Amino acid sequence: MSATSDGRFAERLRRRWRHTERTYSAEEDRPLRGYLTTMAAFGVYTAGWAAVVRMRGRPVPDRPAPWDVALTAVATFRLSRLLSKASVTSPLRAPFTTFQGAQGPAELHEEARSEGAKDTVGELVTCPFCMSVWVASTLTAGQLFWPRATRTAMGALTALAGADALQLTYSALVDRTTGE
């Protein structure tokens, strides 16, 4: 292809993208470019550690053991909430978010800043569902590279999730029996 046809093709793609952004958002401000960038970053991240696994010849199981799936699920849940909602981790989110108030025991409600890329990153770091994709991928990589250390960390996160459930249950029982 010539430089002229490459330029026309690129311009058509830009026009098509702008049209897609306008028609998709229905006048709402949706950071589609940020989402696209985040998806690409996740793809690069996952492909990167997968390539290292392959280059190192690390064994990959035919299928994950059910216990590992359960442990990963609970650890992912707890670490995702710790990173995206906990008061103690708010300094990590602060460059991308604005404090709105408390939200549940030891958790915060924060809004993403609407300053370009900070909007998308702010959404990612305040959403436990969004964060869990990255956490589960990281824990999976950890299980392939450092299985003992990763399972130990996942065990601690699972114990923390269990302790949280017991704390909330205890508080609910106290409230119920004392009428407070």
Q: Output Rg (C-alpha) for the chain, integer angstroms.
A: 21
Rounded Cα distance between 76 and 86, Å, is 14
pLDDT digits (tens, 9 = 90+) for 59-98: 888 898 999 999 999 999 999 999 999 999 999 999 999 9
* Mean predicted confidence (pLDDT) in 154-161: 97
Of the ranges 53-57, 112-116, 165-169, which one carries the lowest mean pLDDT score?
Answer: 112-116
Helix (H, G, I), strand (E, B) or coil at 127: coil
pLDDT at 78: 97
pTM, to two decimals: 0.83
Q: Which two tokens stand for residue 2?
A: 């010539």
pLDDT band at 125, cuts 50/70/90?
Answer: very high
Rounded Cα distance between 125 and 119, Å, is 10
Tell how far CA 177 is from the center of its chain.
38
* Mean predicted confidence (pLDDT) in 27-37: 79
Which positions ≥6 away from 156 have C-beta within 8 Å?
Answer: none
pLDDT at 93: 95
Rounded Cα distance between 142 and 58, Å, is 12
pLDDT at 31: 74
Of the ranges 18-22, 25-29, 33-37, 96-100, which one carries the lowest mean pLDDT score?
Answer: 25-29
pLDDT band at 166, cuts 50/70/90?
Answer: very high
Mean pLDDT of the chain: 90
- Closest listed residue to residue 31, CA positions, set 170, 140, 124, 165: 124
DSSP string spanning 16-78? HHHHHHHHHHTTS---HHHHHHHHHHHHHHHHHHHHHHHHHT----SS--HHHHHHHHHHHHH
φ and ψ at residue 47, rounded to 5 degrees: -65, -35
Of residues 33 and 136, more confidence is placed in 136
Rounded Cα distance between 42 and 133, Å, is 9
pLDDT at 127: 94
- Closest listed residue to residue 104, CA positions, set 75, 76, 81: 81
pLDDT at 1: 56
Percentage of the chain exceeding pLDDT 70: 97
